[in-house]
């Protein structure tokens, strides 16, 4: 059981969620996009939301500004969150325009708002769960895509409900967060997605 809880911390790390949502969209959408366009978009999103943040993390680690990839203290989170916020803005402005990719555009806009909230909370001294924020936002996007494209995804929905429970248990087991921080993290992931939901659904 301990292995599963530890594995969940890595598999459902918030860093993967923007790319996971993008991949899910291109898999489910009935709209035709040339394969080269899909590969190009996914590669650009992966570079901006995964590879560059990892490089930035190692830079901060060498400067002794962070201790681990999980950003255990409130102070450690501020620079990574601010930098990630800039990268999400770049995705919105340069890669996913609202006309051709409305669902993905608003998904990333929800991620942007959630990141801003997490950054504000960090300055207020509250360390909300970024794992729950990222995964809960992805979960809402999954449900929205299922409804929008009229696809029966009940098993996928059940899987991610279970994933949310395991991830929350993992953060509690390793004493990374309190119950309140998990709830605030979940709300920061869910509410922005729900706010933008009606703009494209």
In this prediction, residue 75 carries a pLDDT of: 85
- Within 29-129, residue ranges assigned H as helices are 35-46, 52-62, 74-94, 102-123
Distance, in Å, from the CA atom of 128 to the CA atom of 11, rounded to the nearest integer, reads: 19
pLDDT(191) > 70: yes
Please report, to the nearest 10 degrees, the dihedral formed by the alpha carbons of residues 17, 13, 111, 120 taken in order.
180
List the domain range (segments joined by +) for residue 152: 2-200
Average pLDDT score over residue span 9-29: 92
Integer-rounded Cα radius of gyration of the chain: 16
Q: Number of C-alpha atoms within 13 angstroms, CB side, residue 77?
A: 23
Q: What is the mean pLDDT of the chain?
A: 91
- C-alpha triplet 42, 45, 46: angle, nearest 5°: 85
Average pLDDT score over residue span 35-55: 96
The residue behind tokens 């605030």 is: 184
pLDDT(24) > 70: yes
Say how many domains are in the chain: 1
Please report, to the nearest 10 degrees, the dihedral formed by the alpha carbons of residues 180, 182, 87, 79 taken in order.
50
pTM above 0.85, yes or no: yes
pLDDT(47) > 70: yes
- C-alpha triplet 48, 49, 55: angle, nearest 5°: 75
- C-alpha triplet 173, 193, 45: angle, nearest 5°: 85
- Greatest CA span in the chain, whole angstroms? 49
Residue 13, both tokens: 């790390």
Give the model's confidence band at 1: pLDDT under 50 very low, under 70 low, under 90 confident, else very high. Answer: low
% of the chain at pLDDT higher than 90: 69
Distance, in Å, from the CA atom of 121 to the CA atom of 169, rounded to the nearest integer, reads: 22
**What 3-state DSSP class applies to 100?**
coil
Q: Number of C-alpha atoms within 13 angstroms, CB side, residue 3?
A: 0
Give the model's confidence band at 12: pLDDT under 50 very low, under 70 low, under 90 confident, else very high. Answer: confident
Distance, in Å, from the CA atom of 38 to the CA atom of 112, rounded to the nearest integer, reads: 22
pLDDT tens digits along 80-116: 999 999 999 999 999 999 999 999 999 999 999 999 9
In this prediction, residue 63 carries a pLDDT of: 83
pLDDT tens digits along 138-179: 999 999 999 999 999 999 999 999 999 999 988 888 787 888
Is 41 within 8 Å of 22 (Cβ atoms)? Answer: yes
């Amino acid at each position: 059981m301990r292995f599963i809880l530890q594995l969940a911390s890595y598999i459902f790390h918030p860093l993967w969620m923007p790319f996971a949502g993008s991949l899910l969209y291109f898999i489910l959408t009935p709209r035709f996009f040339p394969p080269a366009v899909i590969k190009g978009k996914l590669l650009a999103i992966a570079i901006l939301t995964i590879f560059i943040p990892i490089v930035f993390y190692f830079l901060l680690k060498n400067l002794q500004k962070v201790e681990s990839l999980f950003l255990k203290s409130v102070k450690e989170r501020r620079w990574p969150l601010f930098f990630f916020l800039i990268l999400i803005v770049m995705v919105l402005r340069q890669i996913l325009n609202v006309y051709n990719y409305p669902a993905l555009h608003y998904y990333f806009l929800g991620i942007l708002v959630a990141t801003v909230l997490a950054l504000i909370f960090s300055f207020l001294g509250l360390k909300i769960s970024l794992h729950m924020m990222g995964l809960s936002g992805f979960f809402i996007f999954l449900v929205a895509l299922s409804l929008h494209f009229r696809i029966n995804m009940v098993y996928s929905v059940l899987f991610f409900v279970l994933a949310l429970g395991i991830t929350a248990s993992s953060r509690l087991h390793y004493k990374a967060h309190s119950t309140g921080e998990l709830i605030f993290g979940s709300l920061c992931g869910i509410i922005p997605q729900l706010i933008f939901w009606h703009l494209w659904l």
